[in-house]
Structure 1
């Protein structure tokens, strides 16, 4: 969902790797790398945040300086992926921006259920799904408060994709285990229906019910690269991801999302995001940061 640099404690220094071994030129290379690989813009204000995230990787590599490590990163795909994963964290929570889920439940859900039950394939995508809170919330709203009826809905022709750039986020989403405080943000009826308590856990942790997780394909995917599917979606959620991109990247991504939606399908974006560029011609606003695909 949301991809950003994490915030270390003020003045944090990673043992074994001195900030004096971290040069302006190193940060410039890091910023260029994360822009090229993930579309994320790192301002100069993020210099020490990048240091705190990457210094452990430099230390683990056995190299002495950031420059040496970045030379390895330039020629090694595996190290490059580790750098991108280290520079992104995934801030999200259950039932975030609840007006989106209310719109989905009231306006979109009835048609999706009717079509999926008649074996017309319904496709839903959470793009930038982070650790899974968004897609699991969405599926709870789709299946509804009545578990018996929800199980029947789950047997419909549904294809659900949850993707994220960071492999650790994808793994967390697939594990689908959360502490009690996290799921407390859900409506009580949905939480009771679709969150299974872990017996004896002191944090009141739960796992998301199998009826939900078995519907979802959890995948690592870079939104700036080619997408490995041709089929169109009925619903796309991409919230609080584009805020880290420059304007041309945002416009290109909006256009790609619009083209990946069926006519009549819905795109949900973050509260501080807007559609722009050529893709705006294909989308009409139907609610706060909610857009519907139109002919074009």
Structure 2
């Protein structure tokens, strides 16, 4: 952190020292790297917390963060970037539909369990997109597929976005990101919102999970999506996380990462690139 950075001026005073404390906390608890370029983002996200608690400035808030685990978790949730949309980076879902889905459906028809993981799922758009793509364009056929031993695990650090995802309701204008063939089948307009079909919700299990802590899952995943979250981590944290993902993907399984991310560390030798930010586990 540059000592030359000017204190943030605004409704509340954010000194260099307080900012550095917040940055260290974010890295220690969530692996988030906050350089000086993130100062305005930190101020805008956390000033709401300072105001809500009736505090005079960030010094009081940082003192609270040092001693209150619940307040620290709340700050991490506020700092977490949750921008997403349906069918984001749609080339991933095109690849999944054409090259991965047929084998998964054939295996599920034989009674073999199929498991997918949407890590850092945010408010649910990614796992719902994955479920639509997996179940297909026909409602009756998709309903039959949903009855098989198929499950999508969707996890995120922030409980409030998990709650949104579980509800499966979004502003109506978000429907524009869903291709017509899927929107007609799986999305129902409800007033000024859209609701995800029950079949989609049936195959998705939402759980709170910090990717940097222990994972309760013991089984393997045929496919893991972890997109646009590792950009906030330092290189050693990325390498460890990718190696852990690799350990849960069997030979022939797939991993999808964000458009500006790459495989590093031991995991880089465990996968073959089969498309832009799409990797298949060697074996």
The TM-score range, normalised by the shorter chain, is: over 0.9
Could you tell me which of 226, 249, 263 is aligned with 2:251? 263
Structure 1 runs of 4+ off > 6 angstroms?
A: none
Mapping 1:139-178, distance limit 5 Å: 139-178=131-170
- Deviation track 1:125-170 (CA, whole Å, cap 9, x = no partner) reads 0001111111101100100011110001101101211111111211
- SS class of match (1:163): strand
What displacement does 1:252 show?
Answer: 1.1
Aligned match of 1:137? 129
Aligned match of 1:221? 209
- Report the aligned-residue RMSD: 1.5
**Relative contact order (C-alpha < 8 Å, sep 6+): which is higher?**
1
- Alpha carbons 2:162, 2:208 under 8 Å: kept: yes
What displacement does 1:67 show?
Answer: 2.3
| Distance (whole Å) between structure 2 residues aligned to residue 30 and residue 98 of structure 1 | 35
| Distance (whole Å) between structure 1 residues aligned to residue 248 and residue 20 of structure 2 | 34
TM-score by length of 1: 0.89
Aligned match of 1:6? none
Mapping 1:239-250, distance limit 5 Å: 239-250=227-238
- Deviation track 1:90-126 (CA, whole Å, cap 9, x = no partner) reads 1111111111101111111011112122221111000
Unaligned ranges ≥5, structure 1: 1-10
- Alpha carbons 2:12, 2:57 under 8 Å: kept: no
| Distance (whole Å) between structure 1 residues aligned to residue 9 and residue 196 of structure 2 | 36
- Alpha carbons 1:12, 1:52 under 8 Å: kept: no
- SS class of match (2:177): coil
Could you tell me which of 83, 101, 104 is aligned with 1:109? 101
| Distance (whole Å) between structure 2 residues aligned to residue 57 and residue 244 of structure 1 | 22
Aligned match of 1:19? 12
1:190 and 2:194 equivalent? no
What displacement does 1:48 show?
Answer: 2.7
| Distance (whole Å) between structure 2 residues aligned to residue 12 and residue 169 of structure 1 | 30
Paired residues, number: 276
Unaligned ranges ≥5, structure 2: 1-7
1:87 and 2:79 equivalent? yes
- SS class of match (2:222): strand
Aligned match of 2:269? 281
Aligned match of 1:58? 50
- Alpha carbons 2:230, 2:238 under 8 Å: kept: yes
What displacement does 1:72 show?
Answer: 2.1
